[in-house]
């Protein structure tokens, strides 16, 4: 009979080139440290306005590493994301005329391209803040959504309600699933980690492709 999986189990040897697996192990370690919550808050805030990596990559492992804290992690991630979204909205409304050309020239890697902003402008012309619900819950790059919402000057209260609802629903779902199963699903994740990483990358890239397809 195999012994139950525990934190003290010896980790398998990992090739140096599997950097994403090393990152996963490091993130799992953050769950029991005093830096995990702060790192999650910072990542969630940054992703809503300029950073390309979604906070789910940290939220899931943190909830997996400390299942009892899943609600705290989800709440922190949601609050930070909404605040970051407000920051992105303000960038679009008040600073875009000053920094817009520089951002488009230097931050295309984060999805901040002129083509993407034009597509979002068309969406907002048709649907106003309702499009924020879709962006907040799906892999569509949220930072492009928040900044373009400010550029389009959509109704701020509507933007805030849509952001809060969609981002909270997404992060509480992710953290709740990991917190609910906790240690029970950790062996599965670690066994198929490379495949799951590939699927996540496909979804992330797919978010950018959805913009072009719907546009």
Q: What is the pLDDT of residue 28?
A: 60
Contact 136, 142 (CB under 8 A): yes
| Helix H or strand E segment including 164 | helix 156-181
Binned average pLDDT, 10 residues per bin, the chain of 215 residues: 42 49 61 80 90 81 85 96 96 94 84 83 85 84 90 93 94 88 61 56 53 53
Contact 91, 49 (CB under 8 A): yes
Q: What is the pLDDT of residue 198?
A: 55
Alpha helices in 35-155 (DSSP H): 36-47, 56-65, 70-90, 96-106, 114-127, 130-137, 142-152
Q: What is the pLDDT of residue 1?
A: 42
Q: What is the pLDDT of residue 200?
A: 56
Q: What is the pLDDT of residue 120?
A: 85
Q: What is the pLDDT of residue 61?
A: 80
Contact 118, 148 (CB under 8 A): no
Q: What is the pLDDT of residue 163?
A: 95
The tokens 């819950």 sit on which residue? Answer: 137
Report residue 169 as tokens: 């629903």
Specify the length of the chain in residues. Answer: 215
Q: What is the pLDDT of residue 8?
A: 43
Contact 144, 111 (CB under 8 A): yes
3-state helix, strand, coil in the chain (%, to 5): 80, 0, 20
Q: What is the pLDDT of residue 29?
A: 65
The tokens 């709440």 sit on which residue? Answer: 75
């Amino acid at each position: 009979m195999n012994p139950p999986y525990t934190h003290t189990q010896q980790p398998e040897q990992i090739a140096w080139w599997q950097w994403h697996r090393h990152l996963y192990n490091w993130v799992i370690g953050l769950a029991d440290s005093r830096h995990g919550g702060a790192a999650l808050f910072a990542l969630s805030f940054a992703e809503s306005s300029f950073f390309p990596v979604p906070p789910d990559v940290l939220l899931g492992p943190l909830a997996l590493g400390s299942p009892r804290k899943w609600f705290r992690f989800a709440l922190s991630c949601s609050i930070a994301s909404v605040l970051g979204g407000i920051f992105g909205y303000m960038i679009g409304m008040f600073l875009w005329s000053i920094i817009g050309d520089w951002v488009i020239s230097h931050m295309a890697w984060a999805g901040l391209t002129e083509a993407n902003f034009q597509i979002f402008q068309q969406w907002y012309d048709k649907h106003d803040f309702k499009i924020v619900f879709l962006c907040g819950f799906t892999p569509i790059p949220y930072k492009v959504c928040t900044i373009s919402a400010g550029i389009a000057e959509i109704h701020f209260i509507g933007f805030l309600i849509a952001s809060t609802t969609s981002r909270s629903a997404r992060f509480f779902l992710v953290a709740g699933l990991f917190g609910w199963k906790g240690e029970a699903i950790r062996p599965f994740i670690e066994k198929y980690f490379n495949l799951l990483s590939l699927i996540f990358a496909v979804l992330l890239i797919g978010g950018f492709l959805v913009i072009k397809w719907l546009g």
